[in-house]
Chain A
Amino acid sequence: MSRVHVTCTINGDPAEFLCDGGQTLLDALRDEVGLTGAKEGCGTGDCGACSIVMDGRLLCSCLVLAPEADGRNISTVEGMATGDDLHPLQQCFLEGAALQCGVCTPGFLVAAKALLDRNPDPDETEIRYGLAGNLCRCTGYDKIVRAVQAAAQTMNES
């Protein structure tokens, strides 16, 4: 059957790809566009490893059909750094060792950025609730929360 032609914006750049009608946006980003930052963990919207932002909304790309992206503005973890300059969240995750195996990290970074975009100075409880949709199998939550706090501080001081 014929494939669907999708035209959208990804990380600020115009993008287009072909996908199947029933392909998830996660699979299309990884397999058609070549952006492999978003990961498939559960495939059911529970773990957040596939988190992206579409038209300003944080969501699980495993629960989105790829054709829905037509005309939309998508942000993925690949768009967070500016050239070689890491985003403060990425820098703080690195410095604070807020990752162990790393599979959940792109999703946590995207979700944490969405949280800070909405609430630049969250307290610990707000961070924990804000990241409740992201699971870390290595259970490194404490360092992740500290890294988000440090990044918020860095961003608010600059």
Chain B
Amino acid sequence: MLSAMKYASPTTVAEAVDLLGSEPDARVYAGATDLIPQIRAGRPEPTVMVDLKRIARLCAISSNGSTHTVGAATPTADICAHDGLAAAFPGLVEASGLIGSDQIQSRSSWGGNLANASPAADTPPSLIVNDARAVIAGPGGERTVAAADVATGPGTTSLGPGEIIVEFELDEPPARTADAYLRLIPRTEMDIAVVGAAARVTLDGDGRVAAAAIALGAVAPTVVRVPDAEAALIGNEPAGDALAAVEAAAAAATNPIDDKRGTVAYRRQVAGVLARRAVSIAAERAARQGGQS
């Protein structure tokens, strides 16, 4: 199989964009952890595989103090080993580490996870609660969009022909801010989310929620933000009635499917529970930070 394809390994973004525009069936080849199985399953073969992993910018992690920049093809193994990212975005790093086995961690990336546009992808909810921006390059130059605006449905994105995600930008979180990500799968490893829940919480000096973001994966065609749950937290301590309101709002925001991993009713209930727990964990982390500042 796969024998008729050509392989190209550009070293610059411009070269990659040119290659992707040179043939109608050119495809981005990054970790390929979904792409190769899809082709084996009968999806049409691309004519050219454009490997993005020899472009330094796509595999680099950097920070200028106020903004963290992570190359779109950076292996999640490198992200998980990066102390600066783990300190600033513990939930996003946890979500990154949940993708597949150690073998897959060597290849999986935020760019692939987002552009593959699986509703059950682990990192998009966490990218979204952290207001990540995707820098996209294409024939028309570069543009920057919210990570939330990349996936448009199962397997579909807002990326235009010849466009690639180059890198992600994440602002350093404000004081007393932390995130968390929880996922339910039917086993302990190596499965796809029944529900994923990401939360980010900023506390004020009195321990009340000053800002909150909650996003759910695997319960709708794309990631679902839960503004009602966020509003229920603002001005309140992350406990009691406020958490009950988070749970109810998260369950109500879902639009899940029935499949072998879970029924609609089960996914709704689990979404509420995981959202509540993710908020609690994020708030505990934010409170611990507050004690040090």
Complex-state Cα separation, A44 to B32, whole angstroms: 10
Q: Is the CB of A46 within 8 A of B190?
A: yes
Q: Is the CB of A133 within 8 A of B7?
A: no
- By size class, the interface of chain B is 20 to 34
Q: A45-B33, A68-B9, A129-B189 are in contact. Are A24 and B102 (CB under 8 A)?
A: no
Q: Is the CB of B45 within 8 A of A68?
A: no
Q: Is the CB of B107 within 8 A of A65?
A: no
Complex-state Cα separation, A115 to B45, whole angstroms: 35
B288 contacts partner chain A, Cβ-Cβ < 8 Å: no
Q: A48-B103, A58-B106 are in contact. Are A63 and B32 (CB under 8 A)?
A: yes
B40 contacts partner chain A, Cβ-Cβ < 8 Å: yes
**Given A48, A51, A57, A62, which contacts B36 in the complex, CB threshold below 8 Å?**
A62
Complex-state Cα separation, A57 to B31, whole angstroms: 12
Q: How many A-B residue pairs have CB under 8 A?
A: 92
**Given B53, B103, B107, B189, which contacts A51 in the complex, CB threshold below 8 Å?**
B103
**Whose C-beta in chain B lies nearest to the C-beta of A3?**
B3
Complex-state Cα separation, A63 to B102, whole angstroms: 14
A101 contacts partner chain B, Cβ-Cβ < 8 Å: no
A80 contacts partner chain B, Cβ-Cβ < 8 Å: no
A29 contacts partner chain B, Cβ-Cβ < 8 Å: no
Q: A4-B7, A22-B3, A24-B2 are in contact. Are A64 and B32 (CB under 8 A)?
A: yes
Q: A63-B33, A133-B190 are in contact. Are A20 and B3 (CB under 8 A)?
A: yes
CB distance from B227 to the nearest CB of A (A): 36
CB distance from B56 to the nearest CB of A (A): 15
Chain B 29-53 against A: per-residue CB contact (8 Å), 1 yes, 0 no?
Answer: 1011100110010000100010101
B22 contacts partner chain A, Cβ-Cβ < 8 Å: no
CB distance from B80 to the nearest CB of A (A): 12
What is A's interface to B at a CB cutoff of 8 Å? 1, 4, 20-24, 43-46, 48, 51, 57-60, 62-65, 67-68, 70, 111, 114-115, 129-130, 132-134
What is B's interface to A at a CB cutoff of 8 Å? 1-7, 9, 29, 31-33, 36-37, 40, 45, 49, 51, 53, 75, 77, 100-104, 106-107, 188-190
24 contacts between A and B (CB under 8 A): A1-B4, A20-B4, A20-B5, A21-B49, A22-B3, A22-B4, A22-B5, A44-B40, A45-B36, A48-B103, A57-B77, A59-B106, A59-B107, A60-B104, A65-B2, A65-B32, A68-B7, A111-B103, A129-B189, A132-B101, A132-B189, A132-B190, A133-B102, A133-B103
